């Protein structure tokens, strides 16, 4: 549109000059007429320069977004679920706007401004709000500040619009709720040379939930070192990464629970020393991820991905998710955990994809199923291990629209048969499978 406007102005200017020249070929232009014409041309040049500057600025603005609308059916009403959130009481099926993202990116080559919001039936929330700048000499080092993805593993660093499963693995959702945090990050990514296949992202973050304000005196370190190994002759590419999360949380109570290894019955032992109040306890993750891409089958490309994370996670009595300091006094439970997933994607032609994903989260590796609910044990639902098998089919209608049909088969470990209370339902497998039918529009 802007190029057309400039062309139109040039045509008008040219027409004016021609008309002036042809208005009276026998008449010699006066100095005043020549001066007027020169002034008009200078004015046009200034206008064209201003328009060109505006066009150049507008070309740097990139607007994108996507909407995910879905229908879900659960095995039973009111279940807890990682397939888009818990189902409310008496609800076994639902329509959702799972995500409605709108993103503005001002790309000035060596710097960027990014703002992204999420609009759903639950309201409006800020997802990304950050600045990125790269040094102009080596073009190797970049700084990011604001609210953005935590630099850990594979899934955390990728948009929900491109990951083939409707949701991230249970371990990712548990350990990195919201995927983002507030902080500053240094990235080292050489464009040329022997280290051009390597990428390092490392930063310091608040260590809070979903872009929340800082709430204690701790800062968390998060980093990932990755390497890409292309094998072009074999049509194969391998990406590998190792990550770490070194953080601390502040306990707002005097109660700290940990597994008593010396006890005949696995159970929590409480430390209620008064000095535990405002004590700092480690949130420590170590992770490795691998992605293999191959285009060797005649039916289409294939991808195999895997990620494993283990470490120590402070949580609450029934949850091993992010422990966040609040106004309510909450006893701290310290658990050793491991979580992993493996995912296979097979392209079938240009429009179809078949997806298989298996993920496991064991929130407490110091106990097993027979310990949970056993007589004399004080283990809770927060110690139960889960595995999820996901089967999906993706159909790309065109470059903007894709449809996904996906079935999550969720299995919890079966606790001790003598379990009572909140643990009693977990003597058998909970009926909490979920089928998702989703339509996504992305631009």
Strands (E), 75-191: 93-107, 111-120, 123-134, 141-149, 180-188
Q: How far apart are CA 178 and CA 158, in angstroms?
A: 12
3-state secondary structure of 199: strand
Specify the pLDDT at position 325: 74
| 86 exposure class (CB count in 10 Å sphere: 0-12, 13-18, 19+) | middle
DSSP conformation class of 316 = B
Q: How far apart are CA 403 and CA 193, in angstroms?
A: 41
| 434 exposure class (CB count in 10 Å sphere: 0-12, 13-18, 19+) | buried
Continuous segment of H or E residues that includes residue 308: strand 302-315
Per the CB < 8 A criterion, the answer to whether 111 and 118 are in contact is: no
pTM: 0.88
Per the CB < 8 A criterion, the answer to whether 396 and 34 are in contact is: no
| 366 exposure class (CB count in 10 Å sphere: 0-12, 13-18, 19+) | middle
DSSP conformation class of 265 = S
Q: What is the pLDDT along the chain (443 residues), one digit of tens a residue?
A: 545 545 555 455 455 544 444 545 455 567 666 676 666 666 666 676 777 777 777 889 999 999 999 999 999 999 999 999 999 999 999 999 999 999 999 999 999 999 999 999 999 999 999 999 999 999 999 999 999 999 999 999 999 999 999 999 999 999 999 999 999 999 999 999 999 999 999 999 999 877 678 888 899 999 999 999 999 889 999 999 999 999 999 998 999 999 998 878 899 999 999 999 999 999 999 999 999 999 988 999 999 999 999 999 999 999 998 887 777 888 999 999 999 999 999 999 999 999 999 999 999 999 999 999 999 899 999 999 999 999 999 999 999 999 999 999 999 999 999 999 999 999 999 999 999 999 999 99
Q: In terms of Cα–Cα distance, which of 358, 354, 362 is closest to 409?
A: 358
Q: In terms of Cα–Cα distance, which of 297, 294, 254 is closest to 274?
A: 254
Q: How far apart are CA 349 and CA 369, in angstroms?
A: 44
**∠ Cα 309 312 420 (to 5°):** 100
Q: How far apart are CA 118 and CA 180, in angstroms?
A: 13
Specify the pLDDT at position 40: 63
């Amino acid at each position: 549109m802007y190029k057309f406007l400039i062309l139109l102005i040039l045509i008008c200017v040219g027409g004016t000059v021609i008309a002036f020249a042809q208005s009276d070929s026998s008449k010699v232009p006066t100095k005043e007429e020549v001066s007027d014409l020169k002034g008009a041309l200078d004015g046009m040049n200034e206008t064209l320069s201003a328009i060109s500057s505006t066009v150049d600025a507008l070309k740097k603005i990139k607007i994108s977004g996507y909407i995910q609308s879905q229908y879900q059916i659960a095995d039973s009403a009111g279940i807890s679920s990682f397939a888009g959130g818990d189902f409310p009481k008496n609800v076994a099926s639902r329509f959702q706007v799972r995500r409605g993202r709108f993103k503005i990116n001002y790309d000035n080559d060596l710097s960027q401004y990014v703002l992204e919001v999420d609009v759903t039936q639950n309201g409006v929330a800020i997802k990304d709000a950050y600045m990125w700048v790269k040094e102009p000499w080596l073009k190797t080092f970049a700084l990011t500040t604001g609210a953005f993805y935590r630099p850990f593993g594979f899934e955390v660093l990728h948009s929900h619009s491109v990951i083939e499963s409707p949701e991230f693995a249970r371990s990712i959702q548990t350990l990195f709720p919201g995927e983002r945090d507030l902080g500053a990050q240094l990235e080292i990514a050489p464009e040329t040379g022997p280290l051009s296949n390597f990428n390092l992202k490392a930063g310091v973050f608040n260590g809070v939930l979903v872009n929340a304000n800082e709430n204690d005196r701790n800062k968390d370190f998060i980093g990932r070192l990755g390497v890409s190994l292309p094998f072009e002759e074999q049509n194969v590419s391998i990406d590998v990464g190792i990550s770490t999360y070194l953080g601390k949380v502040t306990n707002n109570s005097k109660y700290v629970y940990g597994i008593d290894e010396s006890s005949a019955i696995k159970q929590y032992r409480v430390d209620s020393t008064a000095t535990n109040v405002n004590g700092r306890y480690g949130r420590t993750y170590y992770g490795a991820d691998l992605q293999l891409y191959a285009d060797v089958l005649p039916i289409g490309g294939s991808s195999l991905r895997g990620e494993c994370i283990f470490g120590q996670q402070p949580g609450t009595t029934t949850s091993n998710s992010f422990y966040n300091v609040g106004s309510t006094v909450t006893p701290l439970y310290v658990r050793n955990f491991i979580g992993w997933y493996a995912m296979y994607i097979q392209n079938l032609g240009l429009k179809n994809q078949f997806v298989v994903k298996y993920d496991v989260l064991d929130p407490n590796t110091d106990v097993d199923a027979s310990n949970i609910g056993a007589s004399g044990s004080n283990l809770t639902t927060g110690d139960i291990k889960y595995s999820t098998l996901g089967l999906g089919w993706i159909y790309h209608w065109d470059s903007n629209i894709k449809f996904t049909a996906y079935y999550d088969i969720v299995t919890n470990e079966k606790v001790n048969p003598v379990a009572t209370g909140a643990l009693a339902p977990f003597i058998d497998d909970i009926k909490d499978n979920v089928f998702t039918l989703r339509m996504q529009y992305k631009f």
